[in-house]
Amino acid sequence: MIYQIYPRSFADRNGDGVGDIAGIRAHLDYLAALGVDAIWVSPWYPSPMADAGYDVSDYRDIDPVFGTLAEAEALIAEAHAVDIRVIIDIVPNHCSDAHPWFQAALAGGPDAPERDLFWFRPGRGPNGDQMPTGWASPFGGTTWTRTTDPGGAPGDWYLHLFTPQQPDFNWDHPRVRAEFEDVLRFWLDRGIDGIRIDSAALLVKDPTLPEHDPGNPGFDPASRHPFVDLDGVHDIYRGWRRTADGYPGHRVLIGEVWLPDPQRFANYLRPDELHTAFNFAFLGCAWEPATLRACIDETLRVHAPVRAPATWVLSNHDVTRHVTRYGREDTTFSFASKREGLPADLELGTRRARAAALLCLALPGSAYLYQGEELGLWEVEDIPHELRQDAMWHRSGHVDPGRDGCRVPLPWSGEEPPFGFSPSTAHAPPWLPQPADWKDRTVRAQTGDPHSMLELYREALRIRRAEAALGDGSLRWLPSSTDVLAFARDPDIACVVNLSVVAVPLPAHDAILLASGPLDSDLLPPDTAAWLRIGKDS
């Protein structure tokens, strides 16, 4: 069970309104007691923060807003001392435009050797004033920006799949490959246990930079990215794997492979390359029994031949929190539908989120928990426009609400903002405003309340650790009506999720280990899940 820490929003120790490494260190006991196996820390490197740290200007240091390298080293050691492994986020597809290589590429003009480390191209048309390709960015806007030559004349264009402040690296260049091998060693030398690889499928572009063609399998139809030459990707991650294997212990490589098609997604996984990747198909899946079951089956089917553990993810720092999503009529996630901002029934969403937690934690493989999910936080959708920070909001011309709503600082304690996120002596408010209603969602308010989301997660994680049937292994569907998901985890645990609108009888069991909501004698109410102890032959 891997817990995602978004450092800006986890806990602020120095009172500047932004979370920091000291804040993470101060709450390691909370994470250990919650029962997490590892933390994945979103980028903490020096960055101008054009994309909240996913625009890195130095891969071997820590941004002062988060602390120092010495503090990062202390965090790694202290996490290990409480048996928590540390996974850091590596951003290899692009850097920041403040990165020294990119600065040298601009300053040195068209002949600068550093230009070859990126994708500089002349424009099309007689004056070169048309972009080299018409690719669209998932952040809105274009994927090319024109440079100005040192003499002041309009120059070449450079590629940035995300914001203009995030130039894409050219992974065909040996210096780029060597640099990232070295970055990997830098952090492995500091004891990290794994890496989460940002935009892991986008690194190797088709060098001919072809125009978008929906019939061309070299394009990701969802995002229109030239998504690549798979052999090139395999080659990179095999190299990283070998580097990581040179260190004692197991180091995990987790890819962010955002592809809707499970088969294409699984092509990126190999035991000696990327071990696992986030299951975005499951994350985006509707709260609907047939679709969920098909998604689970398909996930397990495509993972088996590549011997990769399946992953189960409900939320992260890029998507609408699932308490909100599951409270909507359309319970799927997509960046397109997010723009519609439809109303959400948070009580219903919370009930379903509780059931979804038990579903995820009972499925075979590894589960990811995005900070605040264990508190039942919802998407904050009413952040005043002038306080919104996300590049998606700005780049889309304010059409896309952006991702700030899932990044609001965590509530730890107290009756009003900053809810213990910052110390009482803080000299700035939290970097995004927290809803006053979160006073019931603080860690303090939920601790000891047996009906709280936090205690549900604590208990589920305790059982998951204690029971051999959970975690790795296989899944066996049990007979059930089509609106119910019921499966056994051999030898002796079953998980039942009622997605129908009526209460249903539980299958035969010896004991109820945990339920996501109150049961009606032996009936499982709608949108409720239960873990059962079953006989070995059930």
Strand partners, 253: 195
**CB of 25: closest distance to ligand NOJ in angstroms?**
24
**CB of 55: closest distance to ligand NOJ in angstroms?**
7
Site for ligand NOJ in 445-474 (CB under 6 A): none
CA distance 266 to 261: 9
Is residue 292 within 8 Å of 527, Cβ to Cβ?
no
Nearest-Å Rg of the Cα atoms of the chain is 23
**CB of 424: closest distance to ligand NOJ in angstroms?**
31
Q: Which of 6, 44, 45, 54 binds ligand NOJ (CB under 6 A)?
A: 54
Nearest residue (CB) to ligand NOJ, 156 versus 256 = 256
Task: Check binding of 199 to ligand NOJ (CB under 6 A).
Answer: yes
The full 3-state SS of 121-163, as one line of letters, equals ECCECCCCCECCCCCECCCCCECEEEEECCCCCEEEEEECCCC
Q: Which of 31, 38, 90, 91 binds ligand NOJ (CB under 6 A)?
A: 91
Site for ligand NOJ in 4-23 (CB under 6 A): none
**CB of 225: closest distance to ligand NOJ in angstroms?**
12
Task: Check binding of 273 to ligand NOJ (CB under 6 A).
Answer: no
Task: Check binding of 318 to ligand NOJ (CB under 6 A).
Answer: yes
Residue 48 C-alpha from the chain's centroid: 21
CA dihedral angle for residue 332, residue 338, residue 340, residue 345, rounded to 10 degrees: 60
Site for ligand NOJ in 296-315 (CB under 6 A): none
**CB of 298: closest distance to ligand NOJ in angstroms?**
23
CA distance 155 to 145: 10
Site for ligand NOJ in 361-420 (CB under 6 A): none
Q: Which of 135, 162, 393, 419 binds ligand NOJ (CB under 6 A)?
A: 162
Residue count, binding to ligand NOJ (CB under 6 A): 9
DSSP assignment of 356-404: HHHHHHHSSSEEEEETTGGGT--------GGG---HHHHHTTT-S--SG
Number of residue whose CB is nearest ligand NOJ: 54
For the record, the structure tokens of 499 come out as 């997605």
CA distance 169 to 63: 21
Length of the chain, in residues: 538
**CB of 318: closest distance to ligand NOJ in angstroms?**
5
**Residue 250: exposure state from Cβ atoms within 10 A (0-12, 13-18, ≥19):** exposed
**CB of 286: closest distance to ligand NOJ in angstroms?**
22
Binding residues for ligand NOJ, rule: CB under 6 A, are 51, 54, 91, 162, 198-199, 256, 317-318
